[in-house]
C-alpha cells in the first residue's frame, strides 16, 4: 500500500489525477467488514473535513433511505466537505447514483474491504449495539446472502481510484493514506491491491454460528499480511523480443510507462482487428491442472506454431496466461526467438483470456478453451473462466456440437451473438481442446508416459490450429462470395464500426431477422388460426398484439460451416444438427405482431397513430402506465437493440425525436406527467421498438415483477444513453440478465421495498420522493418543466 500523498511525489495530488476540491469515497464491503470503523479511524486524525453518510442512522439516528443519503452527501459536498458513503455498496446498481455525485471538482473513490467472509460473519454475530441492528445469529445468513451477490467495482463505473483491502494490514495502510490527505490533496488514480477479481464467495459458513472464537477475528491477518497494496498489474503483452504493459482499466494510448521501442508494438495491437487479421488466443494446454512437463510443452508449442505459420500469412496466434511470472510464457518466448518466429504473428499476452478487449484493448475473434473430456463447465482455470464469461449459451451450443472429447482432439463451437463474450469481447468462436493428462487425480492418466503424452499434445495443437484455419478459410470464402455477388463490406450492416468480427453464419442470422433468445424458448407458442389478429396475454414486455400471418425466417447456415467440427477427429462424438430443424427456430407467433405491423402499417390503420418511411407509432395495447406508446422501426432485420450499429444512428435519433414529440403532446394534456424513453435489453416482441412511458405506472395491466422490473432496473436502457454509446463504441450495452426481472419490488423514487404489486402501487400513488439522481442529472426524463431529454 502506498502512502499518499507525498508533496515531492508526482503521483500525489496533481500527479496521477488533477487536484480536486471534493472527494466522495464509497466503502464497499459486507456487514462486519469494518466500514464504519474505517470512517471513524480516518476522521479521527484527518487533515481535511469529512462527513460520514450512513443509511443506518441518516434519519435522525434511525435507518433511512438511499435518497436521504444522496441528498445528505450532495449537501456536504456543496459545503466543501468530503464524504464517506457508509453502505454495503456490493452491487453496481447500489453504487451508480453515488458515483454520479462526481463532477469536475469532485473525485469518486472506492475502498473495497474484501476481508474473508469468515471474519465478517464472526464480527457480525458477536457485535452488540449495532446501528442497523444487524447482529446475533441472523447476521450470518444476511452476510452470506449479500456476499453471493458481490460485484467488485471497476474504473469503468466512474471511479477514479479503487483500493482493495484483503487483510487488516491493508485496511491500516488505506486509513493512513486518507489520513494524510490535505484539504486539497488527492491520491493517485488507478486500481490498487486487486487480487483475483473472480474470487468466489466463501461458502459453508454456517458452522460459525455454533462456535465463534477469537481465532475467527484474526483470520484476516494471515492473508497477504506481507503484501502491500500496489497498483494493480495490468495485462502485459510480451512479443517474442519485447515486453510492454498497458493500463488494466484505462485503455487510453497514453497510459503506462511505454518506451518508444514498445510503442509500435502496442499501436499494432490497438489498431488491428479481426477484420484484417484473423486471431486465435489460446492457453498453454495441459500444463496447469494436467501437470504436463513445461520444457516439453514449450517445445511442442513453438514447433506447432512454427509449422502453422509457415502455411498461412494473414493470421495471428497469441499464447495467453494470467501471470506475468509464468514459466511457460518465458520458455516459449525464448524458444520462439531462437526459431526466428515473427513477433507480429506470434506473441505472448499476460491477462484474462475472456477480457482481452475490455481489459487489454486487444481484439481476438477466436479463443481456445483447455476443456475436460465431458465438455462441461466447472473445475477451475481457463475452462471455468470461459464458460462463466460466455454465459449459458456456450454450454447449450457445445451440447449441439459434441457430447464428449478425447485427448488430442478439438471441436469448434460458434458462439451465439447473444453471448456476453460475443457482445463484449467480439469473440465469435470457442475451440474446445483436450490435451494429455499427467495428473494422477484426473481422468485418462498417462502414468508419466511422455512418449504417448507428447504425441497427444502435438495432436491437440494440430487439431486446434486446423480448426482455427477452417474458421478463417470459411470466412474468406464467404467474403469472396459476397464480393462476387456485389455486396461490399460497407454495405454489410453488421460489420465495420465496432471492430467486432462476426462469422458468416451470424451475419446471415441477423440479415434474415432471426434472433435466438432464451426467453423465447421458454414462452409458449401462440396457435395460429385463420382469423385476423386477436388480443393475447404476453410476458414482461408483451404489447398485446397477435396476428394470423406466419413468417418464415429461415436460418441459412453456410454449408461449409458444419465442417468446423473437425472430421479428422475420431475421438469426437458429434451430435448431428439438422439444418431444417435449425431453420424453424424463430420468434414465437405472438412475438411477430409488431414486426408485421411495422412492415405493413397500411393494413393496421386502426392501431397506427403515426406513420413514416422509418417508423410507426402506436399505443401499447397493454400499457403499463397512464401513457405508454411504442415507436417501431420499419427496418427489416432490426429486431432489438443488440442488432443496432453505428449505421443505424440516424434512424434511432429519428425514433427518439418522434418519442419526444409524443411525450410533449401528452404533457399538453396533463402537465403532471413525467416521461422516460428507452428500450428493453431483450424484448419479448420482435422488431426494434422504443418505449415512451409515463412514470406514474398507473395501469391495471401492470401485474407482476417482470412488468415492473423490465422498466425499473438496468434491463431498461434509456434511449439517450443508447445513442451516446453507439456514437462512441458502435454498439449499445445490453444487459441480458434474467435475474433483473426477478428482483424484489422497489419504488422507483425512494427505492423502498414492497411485497407485492398492489402494495407497491398504493405506495407509488403517494410517494413524493424525487426520481433517481442519475435520471435527473443526465436529463433522461421529459416533464413540463424540461420537455427535453439530454
Residues marked active site are found at: 689
Distance between CA atoms of residues 733 and 321, nearest Å: 28
CA gap 127, 147 in Å, rounded: 19
C-beta pairs of 263-267 under 8 Å, 24+ apart in sequence = 265/237, 265/239, 265/343, 266/237
CA 56-57-62 angle, 5° bins: 95
Residues 6+ away with beta carbon under 8 Å from 485: none
Q: 199-203: long-range contacts at Cβ-Cβ below 8 A with a sequence spacing of 24 or more?
A: 201/117, 201/144, 201/147, 201/148, 201/150, 202/116, 202/117, 202/118, 202/147, 203/144
Q: Cell numbers at residue 228, please? A: 502491500
Q: In whole angstroms, how far apart are CA 302 and each of 269, 295, 299?
A: 21, 11, 5
Per DSSP, what are the bridge partners of residue 610? Answer: 617
Which residues, in sequence order, are bridge partners of residue 616? 611, 632
Judged by DSSP in three states, 632 sits in strand
Asked if residue 417 lies in contact with residue 644, where contact means CB atoms within 8 angstroms, the answer is: no
Question: What's CA 596's distance to the chain center, in Å?
Answer: 33
What's the angle, vertex CA 735, arms to CA 733 and CA 738, rounded to 5? 170
How far, in Å, CA of 185 to CA of 161, rounded?
14
First to last CA, the chain: 41
- Report whether 485 contacts 396 (CB < 8 A): no
Packing angle, helices 294-309 and 450-484, rounded to 10:
30
What whole-number distance in Å separates Cα of residue 389 and Cα of residue 353?
Answer: 10
Q: Which residue in the block uniquely carries the three cell numbers 443488440?
A: 642
677 near 719, Cβ under 8 Å?
Answer: yes
Residue 64 grid coordinates: 433511512
In the three-class reduction of DSSP (H, G, I as helix; E, B as strand; rest coil), residue 225 is classed as coil
Rounded CA-CA distance 46/49 in Å is 7
C-alpha angle 362/363/365, rounded to 5°? 145
Q: How many secondary structure helices (H) and strands (E) does the chain include?
A: 23, 25
Q: What is the rounded radius of gyration, in angstroms, for the C-alpha atoms of the chain?
A: 28
How many residues are present in the chain?
790
356: three-class secondary structure by DSSP: coil
The C-alpha cell that represents 460 in the structure block: 491437440
Grid coordinates belonging to 747: 419504488
Q: What is the DSSP letter of 141?
A: H
Amino acid at each position: 500500500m502506498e502512502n499518499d500523498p507525498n508533496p515531492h511525489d508526482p503521483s500525489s495530488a496533481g500527479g496521477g489525477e488533477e487536484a480536486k476540491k471534493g472527494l466522495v469515497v464509497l466503502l464497499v464491503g459486507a456487514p462486519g467488514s469494518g466500514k464504519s470503523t474505517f470512517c471513524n479511524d480516518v476522521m479521527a486524525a484527518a487533515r481535511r473535513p469529512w462527513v460520514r453518510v450512513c443509511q443506518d442512522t441518516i434519519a435522525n439516528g434511525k435507518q433511512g433511505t438511499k435518497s436521504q443519503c444522496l441528498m445528505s452527501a450532495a449537501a456536504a459536498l456543496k459545503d466543501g466537505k468530503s464524504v464517506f458513503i457508509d453502505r454495503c455498496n456490493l452491487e453496481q446498481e447500489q453504487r451508480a447514483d453515488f458515483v454520479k455525485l462526481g463532477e469536475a471538482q469532485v473525485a469518486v473513490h472506492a475502498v473495497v474491504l474484501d476481508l474473508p467472509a469468515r471474519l465478517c460473519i464472526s464480527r457480525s454475530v458477536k457485535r452488540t449495539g449495532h446501528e442497523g441492528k444487524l447482529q446475533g445469529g441472523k447476521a450470518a445468513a444476511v452476510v452470506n446472502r449479500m456476499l453471493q451477490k458481490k460485484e467488485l467495482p471497476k474504473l469503468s463505473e466512474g471511479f477514479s481510484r479503487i483500493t482493495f483491502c484483503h487483510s487488516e494490514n491493508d485496511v491500516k495502510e488505506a486509513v493512513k493514506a486518507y489520513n494524510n490527505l490535505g484539504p486539497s490533496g488527492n491520491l493517485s488514480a488507478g486500481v490498487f491491491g486487486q487480487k483475483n477479481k473472480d474470487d468466489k464467495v466463501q461458502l459453508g459458513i454456517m458452522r460459525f454460528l455454533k462456535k465463534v472464537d477469537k481465532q475467527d477475528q484474526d483470520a484476516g491477518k494471515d492473508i497477504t499480511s506481507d503484501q502491500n497494496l500496489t497498483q494493480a498489474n495490468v495485462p502485459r503483452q510480451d512479443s517474442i523480443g519485447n515486453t510492454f504493459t498497458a493500463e488494466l482499466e484505462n485503455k487510453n494510448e497514453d497510459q503506462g510507462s511505454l518506451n518508444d521501442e514498445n510503442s509500435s508494438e502496442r499501436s499494432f495491437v490497438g489498431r488491428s482487428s479481426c477484420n484484417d487479421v484473423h486471431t486465435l488466443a489460446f492457453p498453454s494446454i495441459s500444463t496447469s491442472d494436467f501437470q504436463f512437463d513445461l520444457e516439453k510443452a514449450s517445445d511442442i508449442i513453438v514447433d506447432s506454431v512454427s509449422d502453422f505459420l509457415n502455411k498461412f500469412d494473414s493470421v495471428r496466434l497469441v499464447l495467453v496466461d494470467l501471470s506475468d511470472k509464468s514459466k511457460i510464457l518465458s520458455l516459449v518466448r525464448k524458444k520462439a526467438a531462437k526459431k526466428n518466429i515473427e513477433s507480429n504473428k506470434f506473441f505472448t499476452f499476460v491477462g484474462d483470456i475472456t477480457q482481452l478487449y475490455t481489459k487489454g484493448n486487444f481484439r481476438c475473434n477466436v479463443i481456445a478453451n483447455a476443456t475436460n473430456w465431458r465438455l462441461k463447465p466447472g473445475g477451475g482455470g481457463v475452462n471455468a473462466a470461459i464458460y462463466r464469461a460466455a454465459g449459458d449459451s456456450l454450454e447449450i451450443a457445445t451440447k449441439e456440437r459434441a457430447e464428449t472429447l478425447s485427448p488430442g482432439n478439438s471441436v469448434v463451437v460458434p458462439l451465439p451473438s447473444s453471448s456476453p463474450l460475443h457482445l463484449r469481447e467480439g469473440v465469435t468462436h470457442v475451440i474446445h481442446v483436450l490435451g494429455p493428462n499427467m495428473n494422477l487425480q484426473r481422468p485418462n492418466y498417462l502414468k508419466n508416459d511422455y512418449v504417448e503424452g507428447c504425441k497427444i499434445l502435438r495432436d491437440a495443437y494440430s487439431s486446434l490450429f486446423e480448426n482455427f484455419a477452417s474458421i478463417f478459410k470459411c470466412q474468406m470464402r464467404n467474403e469472396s462470395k459476397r464480393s462476387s455477388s456485389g455486396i461490399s463490406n460497407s454495405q454489410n450492416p453488421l460489420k465495420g464500426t465496432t471492430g467486432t468480427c462476426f462469422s458468416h453464419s451470424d451475419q446471415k442470422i441477423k440479415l434474415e431477422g432471426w434472433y435466438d433468445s432464451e426467453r423465447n424458448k421458454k414462452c409458449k407458442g401462440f396457435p395460429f388460426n385463420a382469423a385476423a389478429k386477436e388480443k393475447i396475454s404476453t410476458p414482461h414486455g408483451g404489447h398485446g398484439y397477435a396476428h394470423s400471418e406466419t413468417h418464415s425466417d429461415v436460418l441459412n447456415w453456410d454449408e461449409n460451416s458444419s465442417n468446423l467440427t473437425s472430421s479428422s477427429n475420431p475421438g469426437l462424438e458429434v451430435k448431428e444438427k439438422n439444418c431444417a430443424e435449425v431453420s424453424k427456430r424463430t420468434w414465437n407467433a405472438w412475438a411477430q405482431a409488431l414486426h408485421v405491423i411495422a412492415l405493413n402499417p397500411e393494413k393496421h390503420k386502426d392501431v397506427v397513430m403515426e406513420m413514416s418511411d422509418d417508423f410507426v407509432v402506436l399505443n401499447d395495447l397493454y400499457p403499463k402506465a397512464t401513457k405508454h406508446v411504442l415507436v417501431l422501426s420499419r427496418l427489416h432485420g432490426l429486431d432489438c437493440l443488440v442488432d443496432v450499429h453505428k449505421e443505424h444512428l440516424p434512424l434511432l435519433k429519428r425514433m427518439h425525436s418522434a418519442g419526444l414529440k409524443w411525450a410533449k403532446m401528452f404533457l399538453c394534456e396533463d402537465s403532471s406527467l413525467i416521461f422516460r424513453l428507452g428500450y428493453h435489453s431483450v424484448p419479448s416482441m420482435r422488431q426494434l421498438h422504443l418505449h415512451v412511458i409515463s412514470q406514474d405506472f398507473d395501469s391495471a395491466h401492470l401485474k407482476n415483477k417482470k412488468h415492473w422490473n423490465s422498466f425499473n432496473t438496468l434491463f431498461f436502457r434509456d434511449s439517450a444513453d443508447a445513442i451516446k454509446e453507439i456514437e462512441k463504441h458502435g454498439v449499445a450495452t445490453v444487459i441480458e440478465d434474467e435475474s433483473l426481472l426477478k428482483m424484489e419490488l422497489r419504488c422507483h423514487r425512494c427505492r423502498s421495498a414492497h411485497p407485492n404489486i398492489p402494495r407497491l402501487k398504493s405506495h407509488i400513488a403517494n410517494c413524493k420522493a424525487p426520481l433517481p439522481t442519475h435520471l435527473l442529472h443526465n436529463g433522461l426524463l421529459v416533464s413540463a418543466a424540461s420537455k427535453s431529454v439530454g
